[in-house]
Amino acid sequence: MQLMGTIHKQLVTDEEGRPVGVLTPYEEWLRIEEQLGAATGTNGTKQLQCHEGVIQLSEDPITYQRRLRDEWA
Protein backbone atom coordinates (compact mmCIF):
# COMPACT_ATOMS: atom_id res chain seq x y z
CA MET A 1 0.00 0.00 0.00
CA GLN A 2 1.29 3.43 -0.90
CA LEU A 3 1.52 5.96 1.90
CA MET A 4 -0.51 9.13 1.65
CA GLY A 5 1.25 12.15 0.27
CA THR A 6 0.44 15.76 1.05
CA ILE A 7 -3.18 16.34 1.96
CA HIS A 8 -4.53 19.74 0.99
CA LYS A 9 -6.86 20.88 3.72
CA GLN A 10 -8.49 23.98 5.10
CA LEU A 11 -9.42 24.31 8.78
CA VAL A 12 -12.90 25.52 9.64
CA THR A 13 -13.06 27.52 12.87
CA ASP A 14 -15.83 28.78 15.14
CA GLU A 15 -16.37 32.39 16.22
CA GLU A 16 -13.55 32.12 18.79
CA GLY A 17 -11.07 30.74 16.26
CA ARG A 18 -11.17 27.14 17.57
CA PRO A 19 -10.94 24.45 14.89
CA VAL A 20 -14.24 22.60 14.40
CA GLY A 21 -13.77 20.94 11.02
CA VAL A 22 -11.59 20.32 8.01
CA LEU A 23 -12.30 20.84 4.32
CA THR A 24 -10.43 18.72 1.80
CA PRO A 25 -10.87 18.39 -1.98
CA TYR A 26 -13.25 15.57 -2.90
CA GLU A 27 -10.67 13.72 -5.02
CA GLU A 28 -8.29 13.61 -2.06
CA TRP A 29 -11.10 12.45 0.24
CA LEU A 30 -11.82 9.56 -2.13
CA ARG A 31 -8.12 8.61 -2.11
CA ILE A 32 -8.04 8.74 1.70
CA GLU A 33 -11.17 6.57 1.98
CA GLU A 34 -9.71 4.08 -0.48
CA GLN A 35 -6.47 3.81 1.51
CA LEU A 36 -8.31 3.52 4.82
CA GLY A 37 -10.59 0.87 3.36
CA ALA A 38 -7.59 -1.14 2.20
CA ALA A 39 -6.06 -0.88 5.68
CA THR A 40 -9.18 -2.04 7.55
CA GLY A 41 -10.89 -4.30 5.04
CA THR A 42 -14.18 -3.28 3.51
CA ASN A 43 -15.91 -2.74 6.85
CA GLY A 44 -13.24 -3.46 9.45
CA THR A 45 -14.74 -6.84 10.33
CA LYS A 46 -11.64 -8.87 9.44
CA GLN A 47 -9.45 -6.97 11.87
CA LEU A 48 -11.97 -7.35 14.68
CA GLN A 49 -12.52 -11.08 14.17
CA CYS A 50 -8.99 -11.88 15.37
CA HIS A 51 -9.98 -10.46 18.80
CA GLU A 52 -13.25 -12.37 19.06
CA GLY A 53 -13.52 -14.25 22.33
CA VAL A 54 -10.22 -12.92 23.71
CA ILE A 55 -11.68 -11.01 26.65
CA GLN A 56 -12.91 -13.11 29.56
CA LEU A 57 -14.79 -11.09 32.18
CA SER A 58 -14.82 -12.29 35.76
CA GLU A 59 -17.56 -9.82 36.77
CA ASP A 60 -20.68 -8.41 35.17
CA PRO A 61 -19.71 -5.10 33.49
CA ILE A 62 -22.65 -3.19 35.01
CA THR A 63 -21.84 -4.48 38.51
CA TYR A 64 -18.20 -3.51 38.00
CA GLN A 65 -19.14 -0.01 36.84
CA ARG A 66 -21.49 0.56 39.78
CA ARG A 67 -18.85 -0.66 42.23
CA LEU A 68 -16.28 1.76 40.80
CA ARG A 69 -18.71 4.66 40.85
CA ASP A 70 -19.54 3.91 44.49
CA GLU A 71 -15.82 4.20 45.27
CA TRP A 72 -15.80 7.75 43.84
CA ALA A 73 -18.62 8.96 46.08
Q: Which helix (H) or strand (E) holds 62?
A: helix 61-72
Residue 49 CA to residue 43 CA, distance in Å, equals: 12
55-73: b or e for each residue (b if 16 or more CB lie within 10 Å)? eeeeeeeeeeeeeeeeeee
pTM above threshold 0.85: no
Tens of pLDDT, residue by residue over 1-48, are 456 678 888 999 999 999 999 999 999 988 888 888 765 555 556 666
